[in-house]
A and B are shown apart, each in its own frame.
Chain A
């Protein structure tokens, strides 16, 4: 009887184990780089663009 219980416990443990969903979280192999330079450069470009538009409106210069 004791042997049977042991067996049953082992089998149910195995069955339960088989049902447990495995969620794997893998870290990315490359470091995550957030490039803020692009945004800043873009903003500067827009700003310079506006300043140049004002400059080009100057008839004495362009």
Chain B
């Protein structure tokens, strides 16, 4: 009985934890930071954060490509402009990349 309950509870708890982290928590917890190229980077190794990063970066890329195509400029240029904004908009304590690619805490 106890074992059965545990079997039910553990995955439920894990699922809850998996649901618990979102992009903003991953950032404020120091797992993810804003790179200087307009995409998220993994500052501290964490599988969950990595999954969020990959998903968000793919979405970002799609948006950058759309804006780039509409204005006939390169996706990289759009991404770099986005990086400037994202780094400026980052909250204090979050990780950002400097021009050389070093992580530093804002």
- Give the interface SS of chain A, mostly helix, strand, loop or mixed: helix
Per-position binary interface string of chain A over residues 40-62, scored 1 when its CB falls under 8 Å from any chain B CB and 0 otherwise: 00001101110111011001111
Q: Which of B24, B70, B72, B82 contacts A55 (CB 8 A)?
A: B82
Q: In the bound complex, do residue B60 and residue A52 qualify as a contact, i.e. CB atoms below 8 Å apart?
A: no
Which B positions have Cβ atoms within 8 angstroms of A? 23-24, 56, 59-60, 63, 67, 70-73, 78, 81-82, 85-86, 89
- 20 A-B pairs in the complex with CB atoms less than 8 angstroms apart: A44-B72, A45-B81, A47-B71, A48-B67, A48-B73, A48-B78, A51-B67, A52-B67, A52-B78, A53-B85, A55-B60, A55-B63, A55-B67, A56-B86, A56-B89, A59-B23, A60-B59, A61-B23, A62-B23, A62-B89
